Amino acid sequence: MSQDYIVIQAEEDGVHVIGLTRGTDTKFHHSEKLDAGEVMIAQFTEHTSAVKIRGKAQIHTAHGVINSETKK
């Protein structure tokens, strides 16, 4: 698998990394909970077309670094 990896580092407890399915239906298929400082390294795959991050985290991708924020 030659897909780029994305790296998500949680900056607070309870950050959710949610995988959404590829294909006609776009549904949640996996939810991973990260606590502050924890890192998840993931790829887009045959099954995963999108990733939603909920909570404060730093996301490293081939397009740069993005900071997600907590809902105020």
> Tokens representing 69?
């924020």
Q: Which of 51, 53, 57, 59 binds ligand TRP (CB under 6 A)?
A: 51
15 sits near ligand TRP (criterion: CB under 6 A): no
- For the bound state, the minimum distance from the C-beta of residue 52 to ligand TRP, rounded and expressed in Å, comes to 9
User: With respect to ligand TRP, which residue has the nearer C-beta, 7 or 42?
Assistant: 42
Exposed / middle / buried, residue 22 (Cβ in 10 Å: 0-12, 13-18, 19+): middle
User: With respect to ligand TRP, which residue has the nearer C-beta, 41 or 65?
Assistant: 41
- For the bound state, the minimum distance from the C-beta of residue 23 to ligand TRP, rounded and expressed in Å, comes to 12
d(CA 72, CA 62): 28
d(CA 7, CA 63): 12
